[in-house]
Structure 1
Amino acid sequence: MFKKLYAVLVIGAALSCQASPSKPTKVPGSNDLQPDEQQSIVLQNVTEMVTKYNYKKIDLNDSISGVIFDRYIKALDGNHNYLLESDVKEFEKFRLMLDDDMKAGNLANVFYIFNVYQKRYNDRINYSIKKINDNFDYTTNETFTYDREKLPWVSSAQELDKLWTGRVKYDLLNLKLANKDMAKNKETLRKRYQNLLSQSNKLSNADVFQIFMDSFTESVDPHTNYFTPSNAANFNIEMSRSVQGIGASLQSENEYVTIKTIVPGGPADKSKQISVDDRIVGIAQGKTGEFQNIIGWRIENAIAIIRGTKGTVVRLEILPAGATAGSKPKVVEMVREKIILKDQSAKKEIKTYNQNGKNFKIGIISIPAFYLDFDDYRSGNPNYKSTTRDVKLILDSLKQAKVDGVVIDLRQNGGGSLTEAIELTGLFIKDGPVVQVKDARNQIEVDKDEDPDIAYSGPLLVAVDRFSASASEIFAGAIQDYGRGIIAGTQTYGKGTVQSAINLDKVITTTLSEKISSLVGKTKTVGTGSQNKFGQLNLTVAKFYRISGGSTQHKGVMPDISFPSIIPLDKYGEDTEPSALPYDVIAKSQYSKVGDFATVLPQLKKQHEQRMAQSASYKYLLEDIAEFKKTEAETSVTLNEQKLKKERDADEQRNFERANQRRVAMGLPALKKGQTKPRNEDLDFVKVEAGQILIDYINTDNKLTTVFK
């Protein structure tokens, strides 16, 4: 299917490599950011590709131009804190022009809007810095409205001044409740605001372009995305769970690039010369390259030149933690390596339960995403990183530990590689179809597990929640359709569309014949590999369908045993997205169920509900959901110090008591005030109950006898 898709993309498109970007009108007080020719070229090409080859066919007309306009304004100032009513009215002249601008590669109006916004933003922060020295009265009954999304735009600069005076007063009050030294509080807040101003002034035209392209693609469908080159690199790191670099996470603090964590066994760790909170002040490439001073740099720009190809040398000038700014930095030389992000990979644990005097061991495998190191896979590296390979090793170890059942925890798993979803399913079934894929021409491909080997044949439960999406839904849906395992949790996200990751360099910078030879024949991709010049387009090209015929799109997967959701189902999920594709049904695949839980589910539900009726943890979960809804509905806060302190103290006491109630309910000792909570302590009640449901199943009289036994 993807082979045919690429052929259509390449042969059918006469993509432009030239554009003439107009310069936006200058806006005094902004950084006067300007689009470049490269962005204009990308805009034209992405516009054409999205409108012609997206699964959801659209006409780029005045109607969608208005949708893009609204999304762009909301992306800049969704809370109505910076722009004036007059600004928004002036921008209205662009509402029906954006579609024509995009076709022409003209970003002048887009950048003009941003530059006006940035001027307003900088004005507000500068105003706030001046207001810090005011002496505020905290005995009045004023309030500060922090959620203004549904309120009208502010009509005058004077009204904005009033709004931001309230913001400064609130920020200082927050600091005052923790520390009575107002001189120190004012200095702390001044530095915070100055940092906001500094970050604003570091924004580049690439940031503006990314915001606008997000507004465009999300107006078409929620999962078609354009990534600038640096964001494309980050996307592919996320997909592969690996990065080539020094093995340290970085953060911007007071104009310094600061080391926050160090990966064990990575180059930074091996050097024995770098510690957490050290500051990087200079970077040089190779053994002889000149140092670039990076004080004041954006963190993204610093990371881009610290990362590099495995085996190459990078030198860093380091100011150790605690050293003064005038100290002489030390030079640390390192050879970059491929770093496997283990903390973001599949993990296991074994929980022991006692039921009716008998002990049961349940293996729990938490899978954060369906990842695949595509570059290693494509190059033939037998040790490539992938979800399925990691889970296979974990299952082997769990079988050696003689667990009685396995829980696959896909909560918060937003998906990833389609290939991995299919192969992971194959670890639990003999062979057969896993998912159906329908492309824009209504051609249906059935993707199958063709490996007859089974990694695990015992009792299985899959835990899902509202943020289980895409590949998670393919896996959970297949397990449910085959009758291979129990699905427990909440309705999943409903992301049932297929994206193809397209390296725009291969579309824009090559001739038509080169495009055809380089693109046709590629398999399903999850990334483009190395950083490029024009970025990456993740284009929606097809829809997923379960082997039983129903789409995972919009509706998601409904659990066999339901839990209440702390995630609001009416605010998060595909069915809340205005541009989402609808649910529909196609013919079912030819497959043979390996089991049927219909006869045991009523009993399992009854046992689950009986436990929940007596469970303090379940009661607290319901109370947390009610409290979350109440808090979410609030839009303002009091500026009366005494009232706010009373509210905060009550909240703190309630949270402390609730935390201890949860601990006791989970069999852990209560903590005293000020006592530090033990590291890696697990209070995940839902995970524990998932294992208990599986044990209930194991103990049923009419337990399934599958073909695997």
Structure 2
Amino acid sequence: MSPLAHLGRSATVLAGLLLAAGAALAQPQPTDAQRQVATEIAESLRYGHYADVRLDDGWSSRAFARYLDVLDGQRAFLTEADVAEFRPLERQLDDALVDGELAPFFSLYQRYQERAESRYDWLLSRLDEGLDYRYDSDKRLPLEREDAPWASGMDELDTLWAKRLKNAALSLAISGQEEEQVENNLRQRYEGQLNRLRQTNEEDIFGLVMAAVTGTIDPHTEYLSPRQGESFDIQMRLSLEGIGALLQADGEYVKVASLVPGGPAERAGVLEPADRIVGVGQEDGEMVNVVGMRLDEVVDLIRGPKGSVVRLDIVPAQAVDMTRSKEVRITRDTVKLEDQAAQGEVIELKRDDGTHRIGVITVPTFYVDFDAWQAGEEDYRSTTRDVAREIERLQEEEIEGIVLDLRNNGGGALQEANSLIGLFIDRGPTVQVRDARGRISLYGDTETGALYDGPLAVLVNRLSASASEIFAGAIQDYGRGLVVGTPTFGKGTVQTLNELSHGEIKLTRAKFYRISGESTQHRGVEPDIIFPSLIDPELIGESSLDNALDWDTVRSVQYREYGEPWRFMESLRDRHLQRAADNPNFRYLEQQAELNRRLREETTSVSLNREQRQQEVEAQEAEQLALENRRREALGLEPLEEWIDARGEEGESDEAEPVEQVQVQEAAQILLDYAKLENSYRFAGRG
């Protein structure tokens, strides 16, 4: 019987039993500081979190399962017997957290590390023996194993890893590498993973346990070690010199979660959300393979001094096979407030009755120069002030309506979302905030009058989040304008950063609700007219995150309706669909979105036969290339020979990206239709 079957009150005795049972390495132990902070985290979760958190056996079981996912989410290192030996811990994590006695969970990590070290040694020994470069097998490798059963024994894992090694070598070979390059790259990859594994310390292990603990509650609650807290502070001050991209771990890969508005990556136009980074190199240095590397280490490689160049080897989000990568170059820079300022322009729409002028104001983020504001400076920068300036300028140019572009706007200062709504309404509530005790605070615009009361449309996408969703939701609820685009991110929660005796905890403390009473959480804001999107909602967005809090409602508040867009919605949608059917860019977006969805659903495994693998990849890329070239032909552009070349290099732009421009143009067309329909309705005698 496993010593864990007699789990008692003393974690120290348990650790000793595990050592006596034959563990090969010295058992890591939590430090006194970590024991103390574990109890503080338990208190924070129980009494400070928005949700009703109960650290009971049911929660412990979920957290234990998540800890196994954190350690070995692809079921590639631990065996069924390993998991069974530690299964008695399943209902002990709640007590262990409250008491600060986490040694048994450090022991589970130790088992994982032993298995992982042994596996990387096994891989390196296979490389020493020489790879079999014949790729004529009829076998396939499953791509996702999160739901796979634990391996019955080492023989089963040997079979899995033999396939994984063959796939890794085949992927590099198909990308054009010679046999010696393939072997060197794989050796570098596995030696790097082994070295990083051996450098794991108690702080790292504690962080993994806490990731399971907090991730079971909700995706935005997390423990930050002292080092992580320092990095978080740097990012919040926007003084970080890098590429301006938010990255997240995605299995063995690092994925682009979003781009910082006005940052180097967005300006370069060579990265997109859901792209995977497989290599990082400096301007003239060797490209370092980062598959399997820890997220913080990849971030450290990408960071660097302003003005320097980083090279990234990326697999585009739309690629269904990891063999198709592309090297891009980004010049590092700091993100300045002026780079994120709202900008306005006038676009002209030609119709049978003449040329119409629509103003477009792009709002990358909800910002305010807090230092200048707190210092009492009268001319401090803020989103509301900059948008107000642009509105006044555009009105002088005799526009017929305004499109407020909030695509890719991940939020920011709540006070700015609140005050920005005030530019378009004459006083009234803007958002409800509910805290953990159920108390609701109502925020609103208290200033009389609106700066702009003309036709308005708000353009959003999947990366419009938080404050953007508050603004769009309020405009929709008030009937003040149209919301067009794609469903938004769905982040309707508020976090605070609290200091602990060792590190910090980012804790979800409240939830946003629209004035209609609907939460923006999980579902986001549903546009009145929906555009196709190349951003896969199963990869990006609140609903794609584990344990995201649910959508719900509270009471609505009293508010005035400024318009009745719903009266014209059927007509507006019909006219939009007619234009979209004739627009090459819109047809491309619709067809590409459908193709991406289908390929993702169909590609559950990859062939280990080179000829078949290339045929499958070529068939998939042929479909993607054909779509792209049909669009280019319709627009009078030169066709491409390779699908992966569809994304331009830094500084190259013979055309605006279709997803960027076609949606703005169509939003303006919809707004013009709305303005004309509403004028006709008023003229016909609406009360």
Does TM-score exceed 0.5, indicating one fold? yes
Q: Aligned to 1:134, what secondary structure does the other structure show? A: coil
**1:516 corresponds to:** none
**1:232 corresponds to:** 229
Q: What is the alpha-carbon distance in structure 2 between the residues aligned to residue 570 and residue 302 of structure 1?
A: 28
Out of 63, 68, 86, the position equivalent to 1:91 is: 86
Out of 415, 430, 444, the position equivalent to 2:440 is: 444
Q: Aligned to 2:350, what secondary structure does the other structure show? A: strand
In the comparison of the two structures, how many residue pairs are matched?
A: 598
Q: What is the alpha-carbon distance in structure 1 between the residues aligned to residue 579 and residue 39 of structure 2?
A: 59
**1:196 corresponds to:** 193
**Cα distance change of structure 1 residues 587 and 635 upon mapping to structure 2, 3 Å threshold:** closer
Q: What is the alpha-carbon distance in structure 2 between the residues aligned to residue 250 and residue 572 of structure 1?
A: 12
Q: What is the alpha-carbon distance in structure 2 between the residues aligned to residue 444 and residue 383 of structure 1?
A: 33
Q: Aligned to 2:566, what secondary structure does the other structure show? A: coil
Q: What is the alpha-carbon distance in structure 1 between the residues aligned to residue 546 and residue 594 of structure 2?
A: 27
1:119 offset after TM fit, Å? 2.9
2:401 is aligned with 1:426: no
Q: What is the alpha-carbon distance in structure 1 between the residues aligned to residue 474 and residue 161 of structure 2?
A: 53
Comparing 39-48 and 20-29, the one that deviates more: 20-29
**Cα distance change of structure 1 residues 99 and 74 upon mapping to structure 2, 3 Å threshold:** same
Q: Deviations over 1:380-414 (max 9, x none)?
A: 56676654455445545545655443323334444
Q: Deviations over 1:547-597 (max 9, x none)?
A: 123333344322211234555557765567674544444333232222221
Give, as a single letter, the amino acid of the residue that structure 1 aligns with 2:471: F
2:634 is aligned with 1:661: no
Give, as a single letter, the amino acid of the residue that structure 2 aligns with 1:131: R
Comparing 370-379 and 592-601, the one that deviates more: 370-379
Residue 550 of structure 1 contacts residue 585 of structure 1 at CA under 8 Å; is this kept in 2? yes
**Cα distance change of structure 1 residues 613 and 40 upon mapping to structure 2, 3 Å threshold:** same
Which runs of 5 or more residues in structure 1 are unaligned? 1-19, 252-260, 265-274, 281-296, 308-313, 322-336, 509-533
Normalised to the residue count of structure 1, the TM-score between the two structures is 0.73
1:191 offset after TM fit, Å? 2.1
1:97 offset after TM fit, Å? 0.8
Give, as a single letter, the amino acid of the residue that structure 2 aligns with 1:649: E
Q: What is the alpha-carbon distance in structure 2 between the residues aligned to residue 245 and residue 385 of structure 1?
A: 22
Q: Aligned to 2:109, what secondary structure does the other structure show? A: helix
Report the identity percentage.
36
Q: What is the alpha-carbon distance in structure 2 between the residues aligned to residue 363 and residue 145 of structure 1?
A: 50
1:475 offset after TM fit, Å? 0.9
Out of 161, 164, 174, the position equivalent to 2:161 is: 164
**2:273 corresponds to:** none
1:21 offset after TM fit, Å? 9.3
Q: Aligned to 1:700, what secondary structure does the other structure show? A: helix
Q: Deviations over 1:189-218 (max 9, x none)?
A: 322333333443444444433333232223
Residue 279 of structure 1 contacts residue 320 of structure 1 at CA under 8 Å; is this kept in 2? no
Q: Aligned to 1:492, what secondary structure does the other structure show? A: coil
2:573 is aligned with 1:597: no
1:456 offset after TM fit, Å? 4.0
**Cα distance change of structure 1 residues 580 and 641 upon mapping to structure 2, 3 Å threshold:** closer
Q: What is the alpha-carbon distance in structure 1 between the residues aligned to residue 589 and residue 245 of structure 2?
A: 34
5 Å-filtered alignment, 1:523-538, equals: 534-538=502-506
Q: What is the alpha-carbon distance in structure 2 between the residues aligned to residue 250 and residue 52 of structure 1?
A: 30
1:103 offset after TM fit, Å? 0.5
**Cα distance change of structure 1 residues 200 and 492 upon mapping to structure 2, 3 Å threshold:** same
Comparing 185-194 and 78-87, the one that deviates more: 185-194
2:201 is aligned with 1:208: no
**1:682 corresponds to:** 657
**2:35 corresponds to:** 40
**1:10 corresponds to:** none
**Cα distance change of structure 1 residues 263 and 440 upon mapping to structure 2, 3 Å threshold:** closer
**2:579 corresponds to:** 611
Residue 242 of structure 2 contacts residue 302 of structure 2 at CA under 8 Å; is this kept in 1? no
1:300 offset after TM fit, Å? 6.2
1:476 offset after TM fit, Å? 0.9
Residue 30 of structure 1 contacts residue 122 of structure 1 at CA under 8 Å; is this kept in 2? no
Q: Aligned to 1:593, what secondary structure does the other structure show? A: coil
**1:475 corresponds to:** 471
Q: What is the alpha-carbon distance in structure 2 between the residues aligned to residue 31 and residue 699 of structure 1?
A: 76
5 Å-filtered alignment, 1:279-678, equals: 298=297, 340=336, 350-356=346-352, 358-372=354-368, 377-378=373-374, 386-395=382-391, 398-399=394-395, 403-452=399-448, 454-499=450-495, 501-504=496-499, 508=501, 534-564=502-532, 566=534, 574=542, 579-633=547-601, 634-665=603-634, 667=635, 669-673=637-641, 677=648
**1:103 corresponds to:** 98
RMSD of aligned Cα (Å): 4.1
**Cα distance change of structure 1 residues 113 and 403 upon mapping to structure 2, 3 Å threshold:** farther
2:153 is aligned with 1:147: no
Residue 75 of structure 1 contacts residue 211 of structure 1 at CA under 8 Å; is this kept in 2? yes
Q: What is the alpha-carbon distance in structure 2 between the residues aligned to residue 550 and residue 563 of structure 1?
A: 22
Give, as a single letter, the amino acid of the residue that structure 2 aligns with 1:700: L
Q: What is the alpha-carbon distance in structure 2 between the residues aligned to residue 427 and residue 30 of structure 1?
A: 64
Q: Deviations over 1:316-343 (max 9, x none)?
A: 9x9999xxxxxxxxxxxxxxx9862666
1:66 offset after TM fit, Å? 0.8
Comparing 405-414 and 74-83, the one that deviates more: 405-414
1:235 offset after TM fit, Å? 3.9
1:477 offset after TM fit, Å? 0.9
**Cα distance change of structure 1 residues 108 and 374 upon mapping to structure 2, 3 Å threshold:** farther
**Cα distance change of structure 1 residues 42 and 320 upon mapping to structure 2, 3 Å threshold:** closer
1:621 offset after TM fit, Å? 3.1
Q: Aligned to 1:95, what secondary structure does the other structure show? A: helix
Comparing 672-681 and 467-476, the one that deviates more: 672-681
Give, as a single letter, the amino acid of the residue that structure 1 aligns with 2:589: L
Q: Aligned to 1:45, what secondary structure does the other structure show? A: helix
**Cα distance change of structure 1 residues 246 and 502 upon mapping to structure 2, 3 Å threshold:** closer
Normalised to the residue count of structure 2, the TM-score between the two structures is 0.75
**Cα distance change of structure 1 residues 654 and 101 upon mapping to structure 2, 3 Å threshold:** same
**1:125 corresponds to:** 120
Q: What is the alpha-carbon distance in structure 2 between the residues aligned to residue 662 and residue 647 of structure 1?
A: 23
Q: What is the alpha-carbon distance in structure 1 between the residues aligned to residue 409 and residue 669 of structure 2?
A: 22
Q: What is the alpha-carbon distance in structure 2 between the residues aligned to residue 504 and residue 124 of structure 1?
A: 39
Residue 243 of structure 2 contacts residue 302 of structure 2 at CA under 8 Å; is this kept in 1? no
Q: Aligned to 2:91, what secondary structure does the other structure show? A: coil
Give, as a single letter, the amino acid of the residue that structure 2 aligns with 1:658: L
Q: What is the alpha-carbon distance in structure 2 between the residues aligned to residue 278 and residue 699 of structure 1?
A: 57
**1:277 corresponds to:** 283
Q: Deviations over 1:343-380 (max 9, x none)?
A: 66656565443222633344444445444565665565
Q: What is the alpha-carbon distance in structure 2 between the residues aligned to residue 278 and residue 379 of structure 1?
A: 45
**Cα distance change of structure 1 residues 232 and 456 upon mapping to structure 2, 3 Å threshold:** farther
Q: What is the alpha-carbon distance in structure 2 between the residues aligned to residue 682 and residue 557 of structure 1?
A: 25
**1:17 corresponds to:** none
1:55 offset after TM fit, Å? 2.3
**Cα distance change of structure 1 residues 584 and 135 upon mapping to structure 2, 3 Å threshold:** closer
Q: What is the alpha-carbon distance in structure 1 between the residues aligned to residue 340 and residue 107 of structure 2?
A: 40
**1:221 corresponds to:** 218
Residue 172 of structure 2 contacts residue 182 of structure 2 at CA under 8 Å; is this kept in 1? yes
**Cα distance change of structure 1 residues 636 and 392 upon mapping to structure 2, 3 Å threshold:** same
Give, as a single letter, the amino acid of the residue that structure 2 aligns with 1:192: R
Q: What is the alpha-carbon distance in structure 1 between the residues aligned to residue 618 and residue 466 of structure 2?
A: 42
Residue 638 of structure 1 contacts residue 644 of structure 1 at CA under 8 Å; is this kept in 2? yes
1:95 offset after TM fit, Å? 0.8
**Cα distance change of structure 1 residues 364 and 278 upon mapping to structure 2, 3 Å threshold:** farther
